[in-house]
Structure 1
Amino acid sequence: MNLFEETSDWETKLEPILQVYKGRKHPLEYKSTYQLMIMVILSAQDSDANINKIAPDFFTKYPNLTSIQKTDLETLMQSISKVRNYPSKAKWILDISKMLQNDNSIPLTMKELTSLKGIGRKSANVIMRETGQPAEGIIADLHVIRVAPRIGIISENKDGNKVEKDLMQALPKSIWSEIGMAISFLGREICRPKPKCEECLLKNICRYYEMQFN
């Protein structure tokens, strides 16, 4: 039987990874919504591991948005100079600090978050998921972009926004808040660029596995 010629009940098929990964904290080691927002901005086109490494010193120097307002762009750039695209990110963070004024003003809706410089839909989805907000989309990071088409949920596409849109059409809203990170964790741990298929909880429903091994 070819599972992929039928209308797929993806909520049921993806349940094994939801059971394992649901509620697992994002790999960014944040301690507040302020830290989460800053680290999400810094992590774009960079690794979570690198951001976790520079974060303690950064947050010692800048414990909140108010403290960032008091610095200048050059000094802020020096604090994140080991981060990819740090000149732009420093400017975005400084602009956000001046716009929001304090940590209590950090927005938690898709519309408001994506109005801030340096925060696109993927970043907003991460912030909303980690702070327990109702999902308005699905996290589509580089792991999801690789893994979701492999499984067979959607067609391959390198555009994160298109991947998110396709996933939102394919999956019920009831799992939007958790499924993005569940697929991401699967991609980080099992479905690597060179996948460890025999260890995968989804191998029985996976298009890639079916094509490779059946």
Structure 2
Amino acid sequence: MMSKIYEVLDLMIPSPKCELNYSKDYELLIATVLSAHSTDKTVNKVTEELFKKFDIKSLAKADIEELKKIIRPVGNFNKKALYTISIAQSLVQNYNGCVPNKREYLETLPGVGRKTANVVLKNLYDVPCIPVDTHVERVSKRLGLAPKEATPKEVEENLMKLIPKEKWNRVGEQLLLFGRYHCKSIKPECTKCLLIKECKKDSL
């Protein structure tokens, strides 16, 4: 079954890439934190203004009320404003303004969990990993790659067992984009789906 999934994903999403806009390492980290419970499209609009106004050093000293006004569209902006300033302060104070390339350091930063760390490691440092967001979790369960009661961490572990390590980054991004644009939470495009025979959606 996995060979069929790879074939279809390569056909539908031949050039998978992260859809968050960034030009510096800390921009990806902060954009990923802001993307929780928001869309990449909204985050990209917010970060365009945010990173024109602030670099990492000025962000560490930013006025939180000013920051809240900028990031308000992403939702949960009060907490995310605190995270953003705290992350900037930590990077400046502890990492010379750079984003660390080790999971154990990344996950000590405010607002950074396993998924965010995986996104950063995969896209900045080409570390093999599979970030599991709601899209990847949904697609994995519908295709029977993980049980319906599995946690995101368990979904990740299942995928890492099923997919060769050299494919983790590519297939992980393909699963995310497949879920975002095709296998949607509401009104999935089942009638056009090339993986409909593999789908277990009706049994979930």
Paired residue for 2:86?
95
Paired residue for 1:124?
117
1:109 Cα offset (Å): 2.5
CA-based RMSD of the aligned residues comes to: 2.4
Q: So what's the TM-score if we normalise by structure 2?
A: 0.85
Paired residue for 1:176?
168
Q: Could you tell me how far apart the structure 2 residues matched to 1:149 and 1:53 are?
A: 31
Q: Within 5 A, what are the aligned runs for 1:1-214? A: 10=2, 12-16=3-7, 17-18=9-10, 20-21=12-13, 23-62=15-54, 64-101=55-92, 104-135=97-128, 137-157=129-149, 159-193=151-185, 194-204=187-197, 206-208=198-200
Number of matched pairs: 199
Q: Could you tell me how far apart the structure 1 residues matched to 2:135 and 2:118 are?
A: 15
Q: Could you tell me how far apart the structure 2 residues matched to 1:22 and 1:78 are?
A: 38
- Which runs of 5 or more residues in structure 2 are unaligned? none
Contact map agreement 1:157 1:163 (CA 8 A) in 2: no
Distance change >3 Å, CA 21–CA 132, structure 1 → 2: farther
1:23 Cα offset (Å): 4.8
Secondary structure of 1:80's counterpart equals helix
Secondary structure of 1:168's counterpart equals helix
Q: So what's the TM-score if we normalise by structure 1?
A: 0.81
Q: Could you tell me how far apart the structure 2 residues matched to 1:52 and 1:191 are?
A: 23
Q: Could you tell me how far apart the structure 1 residues matched to 2:23 and 2:39 are?
A: 18
1:110 Cα offset (Å): 2.0
Higher Cα Rg, which structure = 1
Contact map agreement 2:17 2:173 (CA 8 A) in 1: no
1:76 Cα offset (Å): 2.2
Residue by residue over 1:141-167, the C-alpha shift from the partner in whole angstroms, topping out at 9 and shown as x without a partner, is: 111111111111111136322322232
Paired residue for 1:5?
none
Aligned residue identity for 1:59 = F
Secondary structure of 1:128's counterpart equals helix
Distance change >3 Å, CA 85–CA 33, structure 1 → 2: same
**Which of structure 1's runs of 4+ aligned residues deviate more than 6 A?**
none
Q: Could you tell me how far apart the structure 1 residues matched to 2:96 and 2:30 are?
A: 11
Contact map agreement 2:115 2:132 (CA 8 A) in 1: yes
Contact map agreement 1:65 1:103 (CA 8 A) in 2: no
Percent of aligned pairs with the same residue?
Answer: 31
- Which runs of 5 or more residues in structure 1 are unaligned? 1-7
Secondary structure of 1:46's counterpart equals coil
1:111 Cα offset (Å): 1.9
